[in-house]
Every structure is written in C-alpha cells, then in structure tokens.
Amino acid sequence: MKLLKNVIRLSTGLSTGLSTGLSTGLSISVKAVAVISLMAVLPQAGYAAGGGAELEHFSPVRTDRALQRGARTFMNYCQGCHTADYQRYSRLAEDIGLSDAEMLENMVFTTDANGEQTKVGSLIGSNMSKEYAKTAFGVAPPNLALVSRSRGVDWLYTYMKSFYLDESRPLGANNTVYPNVGMPHVLADLQGWYKPVYHDDGEGHQVLDGFQQVTAGKLTADEYNSTISDLVSFLDYLGDPNREARHSLGIKVMLFLLLFLALAILLKKEYWKDVPHNN
Ligand code: HEC
C-alpha cells in the first residue's frame, strides 16, 4: 500500500514538477529513480525476510506417477487447511492420467454445502473456513495454487524439509526457511522430528550445519525426500498446468517457421532466376 501511495504521489508530483519548472522536475526525477530502484530490490528483500537459510536446488518431475503421488499427499495432508481453487478435480484427473471415477474415489475428500461429496467438476477447495483457520493459526493458510510461482520450487522443497522441534512455538514447530511460521509440521508422522545444528562463523553469526534426528517417523530420510519431491512437483504443476503443452506447441511452431523459411527462400530463387543481373 505504502508503495502504491508513493507511486501515486510520484505521478501527481511529476505533473506538477513539469509545470513548476526544471529544478523541481529534477528533484522529482531523483525521487523517481529512488522509487524505481526500491521496486527493483523489493522482491529480493521479500526473500531475505523469509530467513537466511540456503535453499536446496530442486527440479520438478512431470510424470503421471509422480504427480499422482504428489496430488495424493496434497489431498491427504495439505487440503485440510489449504485450498488450490484455481484448478478443478476433473482437469487434474485428465492431466495426471486418472479417470473421473478414480479421482472421486481416491482424492476427493471434501463435501459441498449439502454435505455430499464434492463434484468432480468443482474447484479444489478446502472444508476449513478462513475465519476458523485464522482463529486456530493466527493467520489464514494461503491458497497454494500459485505458490510455486511466488516462492519458487527450491524454496518449497527446502521449506518442507526444514521444520524442526521448537517448544517455544505455539504449535511446537519452527522452520529454518520461514522463521516463526504459523503452520504446524503436518508431515511429522512421516518425517519424524529433527532439531537444527548450528556453528558459529567466528563473527557472531549462527550458520546452519544441518539437522539431527530426535524421533523417527514412518519414512526413512530417502523416502521422505522422494515424498517431498513428488509433492513439490505437484505444486509446480498446479502453478503452471499448461507448461508441457506450451513447450511442445512452441517446438512445432519453430519447426513450421523453419520449413516456411526454406520454402520462402526457394520461392524467392524461383522468382528472381529470370531477372537479369546488371552488375
Ligand atoms: C493445520 C493446517 C495446515 C496444514 C494441514 C498445512 N498447512 Fe501450510 N500453512 C498453514 C498456515 C496457517 C500457513 C501460514 C503460515 C504463516 O504465514 O505464518 C501455511 C503456510 C504454508 C506455506 C507458505 C505459503 C507462503 O507463501 O507464505 C506453504 C508453502 C505451505 N503452507 C504448504 C503446505 C503443504 C505443502 C502442506 C501439506 C503437506 C500444508 N501446507 C499443510 C497451515 C497448514
């Protein structure tokens, strides 16, 4: 909001500046540069505020099997609180190789206003109301449909692996990527509990070395990593369901243009072959 106000002030300022003379105009353009450079650094500032932990690199997997497993984890463990309601169950089923019936049977756990199972053509919502979530967690769990775009897959992958035991927090969990997060460690039964291990870098900063297991979960560390890999691949899919189709169409368009270029060159040669060259 503040930024918006500044921009509005700037644009009114600019027009008055232009009419009141060069000197005011100049000072305003200094302001303009300041605001523009502020806009340029803001996204980074947002990430910096998300904690200083280093992010692990992650490449999403776009196979039906991986996305099916990721979607199942999402419906079982995330949808209780989060929605993803820019996407419909039926479209998801089609994209990850399931029939509508398989979708309804295995992944639709919510009910509609009449208390009946949510229809397959509905958006992927959550049964928890925003008001209830706000009282329970202090902050409403955000819609996760586009979170892979806003946070990036490296952030998501590292975030899901960075919950740790912290008795001082209301829900007993904290996160090195998102300090003092309002979300509990919902996958604790799978991952178990960990605590972070830090070392002092000699200049008074605590640097994260890694995590040490406190209690075991149902999965081994490798199995947990692959569950998170599928889950984040699914979130990546949700953020851009058309990517595969777009890329393959793009390649076809490039091939067509190349073919067209070859035809155009041949045609040009044909047209010009009878025109005498003067020099
Ligand atoms: C018990 C409710 C609950 C469940 C279940 C839950 N979350 Fe959350 N989640 C929250 C709350 C509350 C926040 C907001 C935290 C904050 O901003 O402090 C949140 C925030 C997030 C964020 C950060 C979004 C952002 O950009 O700030 C991500 C990512 C996320 N959750 C992913 C997941 C995934 C993936 C699952 C399933 C494995 C899941 N959540 C399950 C409550 C939940």
pLDDT single digits (tens) 192-230:
999 999 988 888 888 888 999 999 999 999 999 999 999
State in Å: Cα 153 to ligand 1 middle: 15
State in Å: Cα 125 to ligand 1 middle: 14
pLDDT band at 32 (very low <50, low <70, confident <90, very high): low
**Residue that wins the pLDDT comparison between 4 and 114:** 114
**pTM, rounded to two decimals:** 0.79
**Looking at 50-64, 142-156, 205-219, which range is the least confident one?**
50-64
pLDDT band at 279 (very low <50, low <70, confident <90, very high): low
State in Å: Cα 1 to ligand 1 middle: 25
State in Å: Cα 127 to ligand 1 middle: 15
User: Which backbone phi and psi does 235 adopt, to 5 degrees?
Assistant: -65, -35
pLDDT at 2 over 80: no
Tokens of 276: 């005498």
**Residue that wins the pLDDT comparison between 206 and 237:** 237
The per-residue pLDDT of the chain, averaged, comes to 85
Atom 14 (ligand 1) nearest CA: 141
pLDDT for res 46: 40
pLDDT for res 19: 43
Contact 179 CB / ligand 1 (< 6 Å): no
pLDDT for res 167: 93
Atom 39 (ligand 1) nearest CA: 78
State in Å: Cα 175 to ligand 1 middle: 11
Q: What is the mean pLDDT of residues 116-138?
A: 91
pLDDT band at 113 (very low <50, low <70, confident <90, very high): confident
pLDDT band at 51 (very low <50, low <70, confident <90, very high): very low
Contact 137 CB / ligand 1 (< 6 Å): yes
pLDDT for res 223: 98
CATH assignment of 64-239, among 3.40.50.1820, 1.10.540.10, 1.10.357.10, 1.10.760.10: 1.10.760.10
pLDDT at 153 over 90: yes
pLDDT for res 12: 45
88-124 burial, b for 16+ CB within 10 Å, e for fewer? ebbebbebbebeeeebbeebbebeeeeeeebebeeeb
pLDDT at 6 over 50: no
Annotated domain spans of the chain:
2-49, 64-239, 251-279
**Residue that wins the pLDDT comparison between 245 and 38:** 245
